[in-house]
Amino acid sequence: MLLAVCACAALIFAVISEFIVGTLTDERAAASLTALEAATDYFPNSARLHGRLAAIAEREGDLSLAESHILRAIARSPYNYSFAEMLASVEESRSDCDSAERSLREAIRLAPNKADVHWSLANLLLRRGELGPSLEEFQTAAALKRSLLPGTLNLIWRASNGSVEALEIVSGEEAAARIALARFLLNHSRAEEAAAVLNTVGREQRLASAECDALLSDFVGSNQLELARSLWARTVGANDREPPLISNGGFESDAVEGFSQFDWKINRSDYARASIAEGNARTGARSLRLDFLGRDTTRLDNEVEQLVVVKPGAHYRLECYWKSDGLVTSEGPRIVVTTTPAASPEWVASTEPVSAGRSDWQHLETKFVAPSSIDGRPVGLYISIKRRPKFSYDEPTRGRIYFDDFTLTEQPPVATERQTARGHDRS
């Protein structure tokens, strides 16, 4: 019975002790230094109590008390990495950075996969002016905890005076991190470097990344059209050949989901249904099919469009083929070239309208000079199918049209009459 009573008393004491220690070390509860010091007298072997007391003492500026109790916590729980990390914080606060570094390296030895410890060591090294040694620790921290990467890039960008080499080190080789780095560089007006970084990411990894799709759209939005189209082509294409100015002009391939920046975009319309037709093509196996729904005052605007990139001031010829089946309309649709601002696009050129009735494949073309650009960069234009009614009301359009074999080719400049006359004089 005596043994049983002793056992019960010990159990009760253990439960009460655990309750008291748990309450005092709960970070959600307020605890004073006085209460914690009294508790450590009763429970001197509780590493948690010593650690909690040390944390509060450091926060209140009593570094000697904090160091004393964190050392006791380490002595009682030598494999707890967080105590070594706390000791490093106290040591750095006392300007003993060498000791702080040793404590953090001990914490890393105890917990090599804890991103926050690597982050703490990296920041300590950086504050000491040791940029090079800090980069490896930053890279390890960001690899272990991806949410640290944006802050790391900002920090290293400032600390290294915009060194892309330093940013590449902390980003590492993982695809998502490389894409994040490319986006960071683009946002800091370093488009060429951003493109170079993105080109180090494999094609399959790009296609699997929604962030890469968003990044390509950012290149377009930043008016980096030439780079954007080159990156897009290397992403969606199976080879490195330069694509034609109009991509997928024969509609033979499906647009890669999520990567339609420079492919045909087919949007919803209230007046016509656009689709890819199998087995009814001028060449190949497919064509674009427009089925008109017979609604009054038929309009077509951006239901079918593609963004192309051209040289400013250069001469171009746009061609395609069409055929109709029972087309009833007061004026057929046209192929139109417009400028890119979505708010107020201007018509650069247009073909003649498609004629009504039933016809076999017929040729359409228009020639134009690409608009100039202030900085000489390539210009973005939209190729689209449009129909604008002549009057505020006209009869509904019915029937069907097929389009196929779109091409856009650069042409030599057209000689003016004065240039022609000079040529004759010289001859």
Q: What is the pLDDT of residues 193-213, one digit of tens each?
A: 999 999 999 999 999 999 999
Q: Give me the phi and psi of 122, to 5 degrees please.
A: -60, -45
Instruction: Calculate what percentage of the chain has a pLDDT beyond 90.
Output: 67
What does the angle CA 70 – CA 73 – CA 77 come to, to the nearest 5 degrees? 140
**In angstroms, what CA-CA distances link 181 with 153, 163, 200, 212, 338?**
8, 12, 11, 11, 34
Q: Where are the domains of the chain?
A: 21-112, 265-411
The neighbouring-strand residues paired with 274 are 290
One-letter amino acid identity for 420? T
Beta carbons of 69 and 54 less than 8 angstroms apart: yes
Burial of 300 per CB tally in 10 Å (0-12, 13-18, 19+): buried
CATH superfamily of 265-411: Galactose-binding domain-like (2.60.120.260)
Check pLDDT > 80 for residue 215: yes
- The string of DSSP letters for 297-344 reads S--BSSSEEEEEEE-TT-EEEEEEEEEEEEEE-SS--EEEEEES-SSS
Task: Give the pLDDT confidence score for residue 393 in this predicted structure.
Answer: 86
pTM of the model: 0.81
For 340-391, strand residue ranges (E) read 347-350, 362-369, 379-386
145: confidence class by pLDDT, cuts 50, 70, 90:
very high
Task: Give the pLDDT confidence score for residue 427 in this predicted structure.
Answer: 37
Each residue's pLDDT tens digit, 111-136: 999 999 999 999 999 999 999 999 99
- Specify the CATH number of the domain 21-112: 1.25.40.10
Beta carbons of 89 and 121 less than 8 angstroms apart: no
Check pLDDT > 50 for residue 318: yes
Beta carbons of 198 and 215 less than 8 angstroms apart: yes
H-only helix segments in 337-416: none
**71: Cβ–Cβ under 8 A, 6 or more apart, which residues?**
87
Task: Give the pLDDT confidence score for residue 416 in this predicted structure.
Answer: 46
Compute the distance between CA of residue 317 and CA of residue 246 in angstroms, rounded to an integer.
Answer: 11
